[in-house]
Amino acid sequence: MFLGTHTPRLDEKGRLFLPAKFRDKLAGGLVITRGQERCLYVFAMADFERLAAEMNNTPVTNRAVRNFQRVLLSAASDEIPDKQGRVTIPAVLREYAGLTKDCTVIGTGNRVEVWDTQAWNDFLAATEDDFAEQGEEVIPGGLF
């Protein structure tokens, strides 16, 4: 499970150091792709393969399904971290997420998200009130 918040920097070659606690799960390969809210999703290869298999079972006659698959898969990039735990983020994905130098990497359970730090801070500020009031709507029965 991926958890926590980390603040690595993107180097001049578009490489990002993966947080040390995520490296073992991602060492065998990963997929980086567009995420929602202009972040990037990073999946361990096995998890992405399961997701892709599930998407293959969805009806391509449904426009929403086709559009989601197009956006998610068209920029997906399979990568293998180098020995130092760095991964190259393709230019099209850096542009999509507005990544320049300061990044925030968060664990969200089954995936990692990569955000421009300012975009992440703006997202947190905009959603804090909703987070404070939600609970049962998101997790039936509440958190505790």
φ, ψ for residue 12 (rounded to 5)?
Answer: -65, -15
Q: Is 89 a member of any domain?
A: yes
- Mean pLDDT lowest among 29-33, 75-79, 112-116, 140-144: 140-144
Pairing of strands 40-44, 112-116: antiparallel
Average pLDDT, the chain: 93
pLDDT at 138 over 70: no
In a domain, residue 144? The reply is no
Q: Are the CB atoms for 65 and 48 separated by under 8 Å?
A: no
Say which residue, 143 or 70, is predicted with more confidence. 70
pLDDT tens-digit series, residues 17-29: 999 999 999 999 9
Q: What percent of the chain has pLDDT over 90?
A: 85
Please state, in angstroms and as integers, the Cα–Cα distance from residue 27 to each residue in 6, 12, 125, following that order: 18, 22, 33
Residue at 92: amino acid letter:
V
pLDDT grade for 129, boundaries at 50, 70 and 90: confident
Distance from the first to the final alpha carbon of the chain? 20
CATH number where 17 lies: 3.40.1550.20
Residue 144, token pair as written in the block? 């505790």
How many angstroms separate the CA atoms of 124 and 29, rounded? 30
Whether 140 is covered by a domain: the verdict is no
The single-letter DSSP state of residue 2 is B
What residues make up the domain containing 117? 5-133
Is residue 49, in this structure, part of any structural domain at all?
A: yes
**54 occurs within a structural domain:** yes
Q: What is the pLDDT of residues 38-74, one digit of tens each?
A: 999 999 999 999 999 999 899 989 999 999 999 999 9
| pLDDT band for position 34 (cuts 50, 70, 90) | very high
* Residue 5 confidence (pLDDT) above 70: yes
Report the number of distinct structural domains present in the chain. Answer: 1
In a domain, 103, yes or no: yes
DSSP element (H, E) containing 41 = strand 40-44
